[in-house]
Structure 1
């Protein structure tokens, strides 16, 4: 009997929350709805992509013209929808993505989480620490192998030419440093995450105005 009473009270409280016209309750209800929708979308993206973050925003011009600032990029696990292919492999097989051979990958530079991941094309893979001289550039001696990467708009590879404050010279990308590979890009939509705080303020203002208009309309009808 006590369980039934508890359930009845919970159901009654939920019904009151759903039907309340009080501004604060209405705002809370709308915000919870927004959170639920965003959470559902995030879960769906994770299930499809198999990695997190499942989307990233292009913040620099290093991948122009194949990716532009403000593009929102769907990132999937490196082996999902086909194996990860480098530029060198793609040149031999004809596989391409985003306007050039091979796959574009998202990786944490030197495995660090303290800086934003980098999204550049995987040019080739080196198994040893030997210096490699080729048309792709000169790679430096390194204690481990990994992927050599380059932005499509950059004249040089990240390794060993890119240095990040607090991280140092960028090393060949170990497989465990890879977040995923780029699958598709949607132009301009990425500006939203870049201005998430401003967008949140706009959403809240819209909800407040909407609730205010409905309340005034109801008052006039009564």
Structure 2
């Protein structure tokens, strides 16, 4: 071991640089995991569905639902909806309410979505009549959609750049989002840093930076800004890749 640490051999120096880079990334990842409670804790935005509050290429820190809970959270979920935020003033990403990561229709085989929780509904509730914003839902009635009355308790969600709720005709193909389908909350963003991983994915097809975590799929509505750049079902958030000493290590991969 002493020989390995003190040797001036070029091959040993290279191996030492690679191992030290991996160790640094691992320590940072473990610290972030300890704070956030979820893995991977960092995701990079590919989709315009949350514009202008999450930009393509932003790096997003995600936390477990029951951590950093704001005022007015729905009981037992740790999530503050946009509706509750109107009373408490709680904001995330320049708008009221939490931005959540969830599995569409609870299907673990599908790519998760990251959108804002607008309000909570109860089973059999005619939420189009009781909760929906007329400026968003328009002339839609409960009889026009399959997600109303609500099939179960859960969240109604929406991408900030999308014209409608996910449960009507938004970017995410999902029914009312059960609380157990929510895997995390977006806490803050670092502009453009996620482009590191996105660039490696484009150049190398993701081969050098394999993902230890599930992908999170994009959910941009066709009517959302820049939707032509990131088509529905393709846009999203991808994990941050750290590069040093010849090593490329992915902290996580997700889509928005």
TM-score, normalized by the shorter chain, greater than 0.5:
yes
Q: Does 1:26 align with 2:13?
A: yes
Counterpart in the other structure of 1:177: 181
Cα gap change, 1:100/1:188 in structure 2, threshold over 3 Å: closer, same or farther?
same
Alignment of 1:78-89 (within 5 A): 78-82=65-69, 83-89=78-84
Secondary structure class of the residue paired with 2:68: coil
In the alignment, the residues of structure 2 paired with residue 85 and residue 143 of structure 1 have an alpha-carbon distance, to the nearest angstrom, of 21
What's the C-alpha RMSD, in Å, of the aligned pairs? 2.6
1:162/1:170 contact within 8 Å kept: no
TM-score after normalising by structure 2: 0.66
In the alignment, the residues of structure 2 paired with residue 128 and residue 29 of structure 1 have an alpha-carbon distance, to the nearest angstrom, of 58
Moved more, 154-163 or 116-125: 154-163
User: Unpaired segments of 5 or more residues in structure 1?
Assistant: 1-13, 209-222
- Residue deviations 1:61-99 (CA, integer Å, cap 9, x gap): 111111100111111111211242001111122222211
Which one has a bigger Cα radius of gyration? 1
Cα gap change, 1:196/1:38 in structure 2, threshold over 3 Å: closer, same or farther?
farther
1:52/1:179 contact within 8 Å kept: no
Correspondence for 2:195 among 186, 191, 197? 191
Structure that is richer in helix per residue:
1
Alignment of 1:44-123 (within 5 A): 44-82=31-69, 83-123=78-118
Higher RCO, Cα 8 Å, sep 6+:
2
1:128/1:144 contact within 8 Å kept: yes
Q: How many residue pairs end up in the alignment?
A: 190
In the alignment, the residues of structure 1 paired with residue 117 and residue 52 of structure 2 have an alpha-carbon distance, to the nearest angstrom, of 17
Cα gap change, 1:111/1:95 in structure 2, threshold over 3 Å: closer, same or farther?
same
In the alignment, the residues of structure 1 paired with residue 243 and residue 123 of structure 2 have an alpha-carbon distance, to the nearest angstrom, of 52
In the alignment, the residues of structure 2 paired with residue 60 and residue 131 of structure 1 have an alpha-carbon distance, to the nearest angstrom, of 31
- Residue deviations 1:20-74 (CA, integer Å, cap 9, x gap): 2333222211111111011001100011111122111111111111110011111
Secondary structure class of the residue paired with 1:195: helix
Counterpart in the other structure of 1:143: 151
Moved more, 107-116 or 120-129: 107-116
Correspondence for 1:43 among 5, 14, 30? 30
